[in-house]
A = this chain, B = another copy of it.
C-alpha cells in the first residue's frame, strides 16, 4: 500500500474553524481563542464553540499552527534495541515526562546502529523540536545538520566524541573494576565473562576494565570471555559449556540479569553446583526478578532513573534556550550484593 493510493481512497472530510464559527454563531477568532491554551474567551462563547465543535467533529490543527510558530511540540525518540529490560522504563518515563511538559513522543524503534541515520531523518521530516537517541549514535554529518538547524539531541548510553550532542552514560569501566575487586575480596580467582553482542560499546568498556583489573591481581585470571550470549536460555546453556571446559570458572559475570538468572538455574538445578561456595554469579541491571526469593542474585544496579532524568532535563533546557551548549553527563552505578556470592571474609 503506497501513500498515494491511500490518499486517493480517502475522502477529505475535515471540518474547518469557519464551519464551527458559523454553527456557533461566533467569530472565527473566538473559535481560535477557545482552542489556544491561555487565550481569553468568555465562558458562554467557549461553551457555544465547544458544543458546535463536538457536533461537527472539529479539531484544531496542531500541524497548521506548527508551520506558523515553527514548533511542533514533537520530540523524536529513537530506540536501538529491546533486549534490555529497561527499555520499557525508559520509554515510559520519557513519555510521561515529555507529555507533562506539553510534548508528544514520535517513535522509531528497533533501529540498528547501521540505519540510525535513516530513522532520524524520518523523524526530522516531521519537524521534531528535539531528539532522544537511546543506545545508538548518528553519523557526524547528521549530527552537524541537527546542530545547524538548532535541533537539540541527547544520546543515552553513548558518548558523543565531538560534543555536538549531549550524552548520558554511566561509568562502565569503573563498574568493571569494582566487580573484580569485589570478587577478589570474596576469594574468587577464575573469572568467566558472559556477554551479548561483542560490539556493544558499554560491554566492551566494562570487559576491558575487568580484564585489566584481573591482570593486576595475584593468582587470578579470566578463564573465558563468551560473547553472543544473552538471555535466560543462553545463560543456562553457557554455564553447562563453561563447567565442562578444561578451565572452569569460579565466578561468572553476565551482561544482563536474565542471562545471570539462566546461569544460576543451570548451575543449581541442572548441574548441582553449590552457589556461592563453588560458583559466584553476578548480573547486570538489578531487575525485579534478581531480588525474588528463588534467586537472590548479586548484580549491578544501573542508575536508569538518574540517567533518564539527566537526559530529559538536558533536552528540555536546550529546547527552551538554544544558547545552552550540549554536555556530557555521567551517572554512577552501584553493586548490589545478594546470596549469589560469598559473604565478606570476617
A-to-B contact residues, CB < 8 Å: 1-7, 9-15, 37-38, 54, 56-57, 59-64, 66-67, 69-74, 82, 87-88, 91-92, 95-96, 99, 101-102, 104-110, 121-127, 141, 144-146, 148-150, 232, 236, 258, 261-262, 265-266, 269-270, 288-289, 292-295, 316, 319-322
Asked if A288 and B59 make an inter-chain contact with CB atoms under 8 angstroms apart, the answer reads no
Bound complex: CA of A124 vs CA of B59, how far in Å? Answer: 7
Asked if A71 and B121 make an inter-chain contact with CB atoms under 8 angstroms apart, the answer reads no
CB closest chain-B residue, reference A4: B38
Residues in B whose Cβ lies below 8 Å from that of A146: 57
Q: A6-B319, A99-B108 are in contact. Are A121 and B38 (CB under 8 A)?
A: no
From residue A126, how far is it (CB to closest CB) to chain B in Å? 5
Choice from B3, B61, B108 contacting A127 with Cβ under 8 Å? B61
What are 7 A-B pairs at a CB distance below 8 A? A3-B71, A3-B102, A9-B320, A12-B70, A57-B149, A59-B149, A104-B123
Asked if A109 and B126 make an inter-chain contact with CB atoms under 8 angstroms apart, the answer reads no
Asked if A71 and B38 make an inter-chain contact with CB atoms under 8 angstroms apart, the answer reads no
Further contacts, 7 of them, CB under 8 A, given A1-B320, A14-B149: A9-B320, A14-B127, A59-B145, A63-B126, A99-B108, A104-B106, A104-B126
From residue A239, how far is it (CB to closest CB) to chain B in Å? 12
From residue A102, how far is it (CB to closest CB) to chain B in Å? 6
Query: Which of A10, A74, A265 is packed against the most chain B CB atoms within 10 Å?
Result: A10
Residues in B whose Cβ lies below 8 Å from that of A236: 293
Asked if A54 and B288 make an inter-chain contact with CB atoms under 8 angstroms apart, the answer reads no
Asked if A121 and B270 make an inter-chain contact with CB atoms under 8 angstroms apart, the answer reads no
Residues in B whose Cβ lies below 8 Å from that of A150: 10-11, 13
CB closest chain-B residue, reference A66: B63
Query: Which of A37, A104, A261 is packed against the most chain B CB atoms within 10 Å?
Result: A104
Bound complex: CA of A272 vs CA of B105, how far in Å? Answer: 48
From residue A74, how far is it (CB to closest CB) to chain B in Å? 8
Residues in B whose Cβ lies below 8 Å from that of A261: 292
CB closest chain-B residue, reference A152: B10
Q: A62-B126, A122-B104 are in contact. Are A288 and B71 (CB under 8 A)?
A: no
Choice from B64, B99, B107, B294 contacting A67 with Cβ under 8 Å? B64
Residues in B whose Cβ lies below 8 Å from that of A92: 82, 109-110
Asked if B73 and A3 make an inter-chain contact with CB atoms under 8 angstroms apart, the answer reads yes
Residues in B whose Cβ lies below 8 Å from that of A123: 104
Query: Which of A67, A73, A125 is packed against the most chain B CB atoms within 10 Å?
Result: A125
- In the A-B complex, the 9 residue pairs with the closest CB atoms: A57-B148, A62-B125, A57-B145, A265-B293, A12-B70, A294-B294, A95-B109, A57-B149, A105-B107
